[in-house]
């Protein structure tokens, strides 16, 4: 089963309706109502992890706007690379003018947009998006380690954990869907 497989839906011609109106199948000796419940739990955990990509992108852009407008605050969850770009641009703007800050903002938007793209792909259940995002965000945390910024680094560790939980749920969801498809061919469409 590849990453492009659709999330489970029931084929009414192959499934039997129970007295309660729920669709049930006998999968590996279990009532499938509980298996479908597991599918939904994993799907929600996967989406919860995937939503972190949107938070990362949004908070990074807010951090960039704050930095480029000479504000002294920032969110912990933002990307170190966008803060680095913004800080570099602020340092160069005295010599090169305000065009440098425009270029910095464009670069920050591109980086944040990439994390939005990872979020969209992760929400669709693409394992590669979780893996790539995990690696990139963990590497981004090294920027805070290099500058000994402990609170943003600690928050990066927390977000990496949340992304990993989404990744693990996505993998479990795929395994469960494969098990359901193997046990009851034609049910997943």
Task: Give the per-residue pLDDT at 37.
Answer: 85
| CA 60 to chain CA centroid, nearest Å | 15
**Chain centre to alpha carbon of residue 83:** 20
Percent of the chain with pLDDT over 90: 60
3-state secondary structure of 85: helix
Q: How confident is the model at residue 19 (pLDDT cuts 50, 70, 90)?
A: very low
Residue 33: which pLDDT band, with cuts at 50, 70 and 90?
Answer: low
pTM for this predicted structure: 0.78
Structure tokens at 55: 């938070």
Separation between Cα atoms, residue 76 and residue 65, nearest integer Å = 15
β-strands 26-27, 30-31 pairing: antiparallel
């Amino acid at each position: 089963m590849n990453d492009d497989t659709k999330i489970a839906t029931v084929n009414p011609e192959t499934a039997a309706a129970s007295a309660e109106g729920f669709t049930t199948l006998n999968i590996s000796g279990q009532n499938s109502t509980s298996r479908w419940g597991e599918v939904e739990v994993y799907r929600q955990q996967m989406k919860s992890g995937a939503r972190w990509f949107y938070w990362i992108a949004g908070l990074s852009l807010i951090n960039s706007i704050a930095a480029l407008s000479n504000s002294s605050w920032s969110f912990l969850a933002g990307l170190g690379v966008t803060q680095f770009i913004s800080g570099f641009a602020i340092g160069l703007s005295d010599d090169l003018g305000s065009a440098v800050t425009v270029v910095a903002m464009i670069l920050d938007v591109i980086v944040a947009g990439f994390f939005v793209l990872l979020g969209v792909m992760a929400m669709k259940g693409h394992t590669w998006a979780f893996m790539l995002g995990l690696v990139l965000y963990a590497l981004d945390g090294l920027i805070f380690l290099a500058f000994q910024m402990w609170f943003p680094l600690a928050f990066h560790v927390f977000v990496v954990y949340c992304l990993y939980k989404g990744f693990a749920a996505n993998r479990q969801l795929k395994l469960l869907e494969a098990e359901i498809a193997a046990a009851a061919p034609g049910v997943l469409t």
